[in-house]
Chain A
Amino acid sequence: MLIEVLLLVTVLSAIAVMVVDDEIAGRLAFGLSLLPLAGSLLMYSGFDGSGNALLGGDIAYQTKAEWITVGPYDLGYHVGVDGIGLALVVLTTLLMTLAILSSWTPIDERQSQFYGLMLFMEASLIGVFTALDFFAWFVAWEFVLVPMYFLIAIWGGPRRKYAAIKFFVYTNVASLVMFIGFIALVFGLPVQSLDLPTITQSLQAGELGSLGGISADTLRAIAFIAMFAGFAVKVPMVPFHTWLPDAHVEAPTPVSVILAGVLLKMGTYAMLRFNFTMLPGQARDFAIPIAVLAVISVIYGAMLAMAQQDLKRIVAYSSISSMGYVLLGLIAYNLYGVGGATFQMVAHGLISGLMFMSVGVIYNVAHTRMVGDLSGLADRMPVTATVFTAAAFGYMGLPLMAGFAGELYIFLGAMQSTVLPYAQLFTAVAMFGIVIVAGYLLFAMQRVLFGPFRADTDYDIVPAAVHDQISIVVLILVIVLFGVVPDLLYVNIQDAVRPILAIGGGL
């Protein structure tokens, strides 16, 4: 029941915020967003699931109901969480509350619509991470795009229309490819519903037949590639990444926080659920190409970040790099690899959110994000400089912050992978990302925060508003908490990951 309450409260909050005056919308949205946050923490504290939701585990907060029948297929309503979904729901609600708090300063027009869309997006995201029926899941998946489109297109920067359309079309075409791949798989199975656990278990039982003269093996391979390509756009993996920097640069900062912090995780989450849980054999077959993509994303993404002058573009490209690690962890196919990849989704969500918020605070004050325009800001904005530093070191994988745990697990898993050939070599090359990331972030910090004070802007450089700083400090504390006590999430994650490994190999 809790999930329905969570969804309902969030949607109602969105509607309520939509209709109130602009002056109070921000505060109301913040207050109301505490409800889903409290709900997700309630979910966390009362979590009693075990195993993987798709592989016959005990699903927590499960609801299953008949919904529509289309042809021979039952489109059901089926929600619930396991350790993986739980972690991402907590991430979503936490980050959304803080993103709303950090919107108070930069969003100064059409506030009620802005906050309403944010909350609507939150509901859709919760839907993505809890839905266990393909139909419900896909509806939520698509519904995420709509508010995101408007949030970029209305409140974005100068090229917002271009960026919004590019984002929308690119990810939508990807959804179509993924959709076809998945549906092809379903049609090859003797199932009468789109229920994901049913489909997964049927696939494990080897019930996939041929479809239209295509053999089961070929069908699996085609479906794997189609779904992988579809999700790869969302992650995004190189070479499907070019929508991301444009979207980030144009999006208002709080939207970037959600885009990098949660939306990208939809891609890796779906890869884990669909590609790596449903078709482990194909994942093993394609291990080398996937690892090559992962390593390219890490290194190439980091190199691109190094070439940027816009702080937001730097963080945007570095997200591509960090998400490459997630893919490397997935293809390692062992406990530290897949568990670490899932942990890294949360950790990177928090840290990239923090990084964007820190950039946002600077932008709110200086109205520029270009590295060359700013120098020595620490002199005028000491607290902002401090939190920016904390964010940057978190991004570099400083121990006792969440990012280190995630990356370390992935490296541990990848190094001992028995699924991926040449795993040690792939790991060593990918790990070089930790040097490049230190290079460009330290360089950017040195120029923007330190040295003699100078700002090529018409605005006064003054300390940021208190509520901007609160959201950042809270986020830092959460990141340190998960860095010092990763077991808070990691135990549940491992519990949900182990069944995947039992069928996929590297236990």
Chain B
Amino acid sequence: MAGAFDYAAAIPLLPLFSFVIAIVAGHFAPRLLPKGGAIPGIVATGGSLLLSGWLYVTVSGTEQYFNQELYRWTTALGDEAFDLSFGLLLDPLSAYMLLIVSLITFLVHVFSMGYMNDEGETGLPRYYAGLGLFSFSMLAFVASSNILMAFMFFELVGLCSWLLIGFWFREPGPASAAKKAFLVTRFGDYFFLIGVVAIFATFGTGLFAPRGESLGFPQLAEHALNPEMHMPEHVANFLGVVGMDANTWFAIIGLLVLGGVIGKSAQFPLHTWLPDAMEGPTPVSALIHAATMVAAGVYLVMRMYGFYAGLPNVLALIALVGAFTALMAATMGVVKREIKQVLAYSTISQYGYMMLALGAGGYVAATFHLMTHAIFKALLFLGAGSVIIAMHHNENMWDMGGLREKMPVTYWTFLSGSLALAGIFPFAGFWSKDEILYEALIHGLGGQPLILLAYALGLIAVFFTGFYTFRMVILTFHGEPRTETAEDPHGVRWNVKFPLVVLGILAAVVGFVNMAPVKELTGANITYLHTWFEHGLEGVSLEAYHHILEAQAGYQAAELSSIGPGLVSLALALAGAGLAWRLYSGPEPEAHTDRLGVVKDVWYNNYYQDEYQVWLAEGVTMPLAQVADKFDQGIIDGIVNGVSSVSLFSGSHIRRVQTGVVTNYAALLTLGLVVLALGVGLFGGWF
């Protein structure tokens, strides 16, 4: 069947071309490069967006999916070893995600032209090369057919984040933030790589989905865990080698892979890199937060959900980590002064919700929130970027105020994104967050007390979300201008406004694709996302996941209307927003944070988590390294020199030798050959 599948490889490859063009032309012929590389990037990601749209339509119109090997990276000789290859898996999940990612990358490229190019910035080709490589890596990650390929592009995403966060490398801040981002996520990826290697060792394949006769590893795991199915021989052998039962070993693998997820998706305790990553250019923040790097983590869990669905303990952990992160990050967002810092903590918090959904068995809710969040968070970051342009790169909200009249497009679109983030009816975030909490509640009531605990944490976080979101909106746009810059902001052009308007409209309406409570009220079958994910390759569909969740993880859904819980969370969000309005509206808002006392310090310092991580690096690892060095120089090398001084020349003689007695060298040089001759001679019967 010719069609979108044949061209799908071009979705990631087009941005790769724009990367190559920006690198090569940027070095050899910068003048030939239109807009410092922006145009090739826009064309490439625009092409990716069109192809993704075509692919989406193709996937929705058929039951045919694509899971093929494209390139055999490593050929293993012999039957007993497995090959390693690159391939594409194009099914409802990846088509959906490709569309989101390519949309955001395209808009970020357009926005970048307004944000970066108008500032007389040097190094634009480097910037656009980074963006191109970032888009390529993420799109290839999303379309990966196996976990090794996913890991490889996961790592490349990390590299790109390093390149772009550290874009302004002449300042000390970005260079340090880039290092931290890579290092913290690398720490997570360490566990992920062990998990990848263990998956290959255990299952002999890294495929996510069945390809022809051969099953993917999540399906093999289901076979191994389900006593009614046949245990795959390869798995049985390896379980014998490690000496564990399938449940324990798979849970270990699941936790190892989760390490990478926690790192990239900025979940507790590896979330500390994300707020620092604000040192990068704002469009890059939008890209990282909305659709690329941070999304990669939760997407990975979705991609291999069939594997996690059979492991109830791991699921509970995912839900708890997510819910805890959602609440903790929301509280830290309450006291921040910089607009981008507030958004950074909200990202951590929102991805916590997605993790909560996945752990609670709400697969669709998680994918839904991933999409709505991608849109409203990209919108908010680009809106913040517009504000930052206007404020001449001052990000402190206390220096703003009253920008509403000066920048109406930015204000109204930003408001749309904020309503979505806070989860106010009927904006996008309301529907997706509501569904997450609902799923957590029904599965919690269905006999999973830990999920119920996670639900409670998530519910409290709704209040804080409403509060910090509207604190940010009010401080930035309402009241009177508090500085001269805010009175006379720098204007922004179409290339800034266009992405804002597109995203602003989407943030308002995109939630309508999956209105579960409305379905319940009217009976109309309008939960399109549920329909969308019902289909898929064998064992990679909503139906299969529900089956595994019920049969193996023992997840039961309690009978409960979704209206009541929805009203509760809406009320909490409104309460948070209302409190923010009460505290900060008016022409001259005051900082109320001091009233929090000790809590303020704790929140402002992010629960001192950066401190302990820095301490781990500088207070523990570095001294340990220095002790090792002393030991090495003093003891090990000391013994070596001691032995040699006894046998060949004493310590004081070393100095004499160094000053150059040529005969000594000659004598030593011949030693080797003499040894050879003597050896052969004495033992070989020469004499």
Contacts and interface: CB of A to CB of B under 8 A. Distances in A.
A399 B186 contact: no
28 contacts: A142-B673, A161-B658, A166-B640, A175-B675, A176-B675, A242-B636, A300-B628, A307-B626, A335-B81, A336-B76, A376-B170, A379-B170, A398-B155, A399-B155, A408-B84, A408-B197, A411-B193, A415-B201, A416-B238, A431-B190, A432-B190, A442-B182, A449-B169, A452-B171, A453-B170, A486-B74, A487-B73, A491-B77
Interface residues of B, number: 77
A431 B195 CA distance: 11
A308 B625 CA distance: 9
Given A161-B657, A162-B658, A307-B626, A486 B200 contact: no
Residue of A243, A451, A490 ringed by the most chain B CB atoms within 10 A: A451
A431 B673 contact: no
Interface in A256-296: none
Interface in A401-415: 404-405, 408-409, 411-412, 415
Interface string A359-388: 000000000000000001011000100000
B193 A446 contact: no
A176 B684 CA distance: 15
Given A149-B669, A335-B76, A435 B186 contact: yes
A180 to B, nearest CB: 7
A494 B675 contact: no
Interface stretch (B172-180, B358-366, B517-525, B585-593): B172-180
B411 interface: no
Interface string A447-470: 001111100000000000000000
Contacts of A142: 672-673, 676
Residue of B159, B182, B241, B658 ringed by the most chain A CB atoms within 10 A: B658
Give me the 3 closest cross-chain CB pairs, A-B, nearest first: A399-B152, A450-B175, A71-B685
Interface in B47-82: 72-78, 80-81
Q: Interface majority SS on A: helix, strand, loop or mixed?
A: helix
A304 B194 contact: no
A487 B77 CA distance: 11
A415 B206 CA distance: 15
A122 interface: no
Nearest to A445: B179
B194 to A, nearest CB: 5
Interface stretch (B94-102, B442-450, B484-492, B616-624): B616-624
Contacts of B155: 398-399, 404
A405 B74 contact: yes
B595 to A, nearest CB: 39
Contacts of B625: 303-304, 306-307
Given A169-B668, A451-B170, A434 B190 contact: yes
Contacts of A145: 672
Contacts of A404: 152, 155
Given A307-B629, A398-B155, A449-B169, A439 B74 contact: no
A412 B201 contact: yes
B197 A412 contact: yes
B624 A303 contact: yes
B156 A179 contact: no
B671 A491 contact: no
B622 A451 contact: no
B187 interface: yes
A438 interface: yes
B144 to A, nearest CB: 12
A198 interface: no
B118 interface: no
Residue of B77, B621, B660, B686 ringed by the most chain A CB atoms within 10 A: B77
A246 B198 CA distance: 38
Contact of B629 (A162, A175, A304, A491): A304
B134 interface: no
B308 to A, nearest CB: 21
Contact of B671 (A138, A172, A308): A172
A153 to B, nearest CB: 7
Contacts of B238: 416
B614 interface: no
Contact of A498 (B77, B156, B637, B675): B77
Contacts of A439: 183, 617, 621
B397 to A, nearest CB: 28
A438 B171 contact: no
Interface in B630-669: 632, 636-637, 640, 644, 648, 654, 657-660, 665, 668-669
Interface in B511-544: none
